[in-house]
A and B are shown apart, each in its own frame.
Chain A
């Protein structure tokens, strides 16, 4: 069936025009499926089960990614670790995006002292290196998964404040918004109907990028021993545990590292694809 050439093309059409977007979506989809397997327990082995007689075996038909020094299956542990990383990052970014966007829009729209206060607060948080701040917060909160995601959320909230606030400042001064105000529409309606649609594009892109940073931060925390605690599997922790045996068992280091890299590459490419699809100026033809 031929599409009507006059019908406006949707965002999906433009997204599929970008190669990096498609590659990114495939990589990301793969990782999501993989972690769903871990959620439903469809793993070839128990990720925690130790089996000393199979310790440090290379990849085989029984252990696809080999085993670690305790004979645990690295394939199952990687899948379970990916599930944990995604859980923490998705919840962290959801919290950060919700709070950050709300504060950013309000601060841009209301202006005055409220804006000043919010901008100052985000400057304060921006003055810390992300992982250091997450580290400090986790050290005081504790390191269960929701506490880790809360710490990461605090770190990434100001980015969403900044991303949402910028467009609001511009849109607020546009004539069509001024007209709605003169017509006597309520602030809530102006925010919902005229301002929110204008900030969604940069926010969606930011969500993809922040997810990739959140995954890096989470695995960094776990690597330093302040995220997921042993014996549970987490990609960062697996890399840390592989340090001592990597010289004899490359697979213990390689597979968890590859998982982190793939998901971060995927999210970055998806971010690029979304940016191209949602920005009318970048659309080719």
Chain B
């Protein structure tokens, strides 16, 4: 094999192509965010000063343009935004005067913790109810499981959250989110209480599709020849269920969980605002209401990066569970 052939084989190998496609998607995302959030809204100056913009002198406007970095051409603005974003400097939040990077560093762990709790609850509930449903298709318990799936899909997270808050706070006088938010390492018990309800709301949203996928995957696998063979060989029923049926149904379930994670990040925007958790969702909404486009831009970018990371992790996990995918 010549040197050139070897190089082209490395360049066309799956991991390299995969990384290449991730990087190009990230590049596309950054351009999209830049165009939608910086070019369309027009002026940060109008955003910051509102109708008082009319009172500014031309010199003041020119100075402000330099201050906000909008005096340069679009490609230059993009390059300078990317340069500072990649070096970890995302600019400042004008209304609070704190750097966006340190705001994000505080908010991101909250959202990640919430998302992990939501996913874990969702996967446990989804697989449990899905298995429960698939055991006897067409029975009353199957109907109950499917009804749960449908309701979990149809009742919006904000309705569920508002209902939970109303009931627990007013009937049981229990509302941990009324206190100031504490971090996991400061007071784990209080933190978990504050995360419980929002995590549950997100978990229910994740559980619905996971339950549906589990149910149909199980029903499909049960009919496969290798399951019949295992039963015929006299493997006990519990082992058939866990080693053969569930194991083979895991791949669609993992894929579905990965997809749901993205929706869950969206749900976090709503849930964090209702339960006053200082995560990325609240940061975005606060920035939008204050018209701080730099904060919105960076936070949305962080969300997208998080989402892509989840996709990569999902990919790695199912290479692990399904040896057939490995090359």
What is the CA–CA distance of A87 and B307 in the complex, to the nearest angstrom? 31
B63 within 8 A of A: no
A100 within 8 A of B: no
Name the residue in A136, A224, A225, A239 with the highest tally of chain B Cβ atoms < 10 Å from its Cβ. Answer: A136
For the residues of A in contact with B, the DSSP-based class is helix
B166 touches A246 (CB 8 A): yes
A130 to chain B, nearest CB (A): 6
Interface positions of B from 16 to 49, Cβ below 8 Å from A: 24-25, 28-29, 32-33, 36-37, 40-41
B304's partner among A128, A243, A260 (CB-CB below 8 A) is A128
Interface positions of B from 55 to 74, Cβ below 8 Å from A: none
Query: Interface residues, chain B, CB within 8 Å of chain A?
Result: 24-25, 28-29, 32-33, 36-37, 40-41, 150-151, 153-159, 162-163, 165-166, 169-170, 262-267, 269-270, 273-274, 281, 284-285, 288-289, 291, 293, 296, 300, 303-304, 307-308
Interface size on A, residues (CB 8 A): 42
Residues of A within 8 A of B289 (CB): 225
A198 within 8 A of B: no
Q: Can you list 29 A-B contacts (CB < 8 A)?
A: A121-B28, A123-B25, A124-B29, A127-B29, A127-B304, A128-B29, A128-B304, A128-B307, A129-B264, A129-B269, A129-B303, A130-B263, A132-B269, A132-B300, A135-B285, A136-B36, A136-B300, A220-B156, A220-B158, A239-B159, A242-B162, A243-B162, A246-B162, A247-B169, A257-B156, A257-B162, A261-B151, A265-B154, A269-B150
A260 closest partner in B (C-beta): B156
What is the CA–CA distance of A200 and B269 in the complex, to the nearest angstrom? 35
What is the CA–CA distance of A264 and B162 in the complex, to the nearest angstrom? 18
What is the CA–CA distance of A100 and B16 in the complex, to the nearest angstrom? 30
Question: Which stretch in A61-69, A72-80, A137-145 binds the other chain?
Answer: A137-145
A223 touches B269 (CB 8 A): no
A129 touches B266 (CB 8 A): yes
Residues of B within 8 A of A219 (CB): 156, 158
What is the CA–CA distance of A239 and B29 in the complex, to the nearest angstrom? 33
A140 touches B41 (CB 8 A): yes
What is the CA–CA distance of A242 and B153 in the complex, to the nearest angstrom? 22
For the residues of B in contact with A, the DSSP-based class is helix
Residues of B within 8 A of A141 (CB): 40
A226 within 8 A of B: yes
B267 touches A131 (CB 8 A): yes
Residue interface mask A132-172, B partner, CB < 8 A = 1: 11011101110000000000000000000000000000000
A253 closest partner in B (C-beta): B162
Name the residue in B29, B169, B308 with the highest tally of chain A Cβ atoms < 10 Å from its Cβ. Answer: B29
B206 to chain A, nearest CB (A): 13
B163 closest partner in A (C-beta): A253
A132 touches B266 (CB 8 A): yes
Query: Given A127-B304, A131-B266, A216-B156, are A140 and B166 also a contact pair (CB < 8 Å)?
Result: no
A120 touches B288 (CB 8 A): no
Q: A132-B266, A137-B36 are in contact. List 13 more A-B contacts (CB 8 A).
A: A124-B32, A129-B269, A129-B307, A130-B266, A136-B33, A136-B284, A140-B293, A219-B156, A220-B157, A239-B158, A253-B159, A253-B166, A261-B155
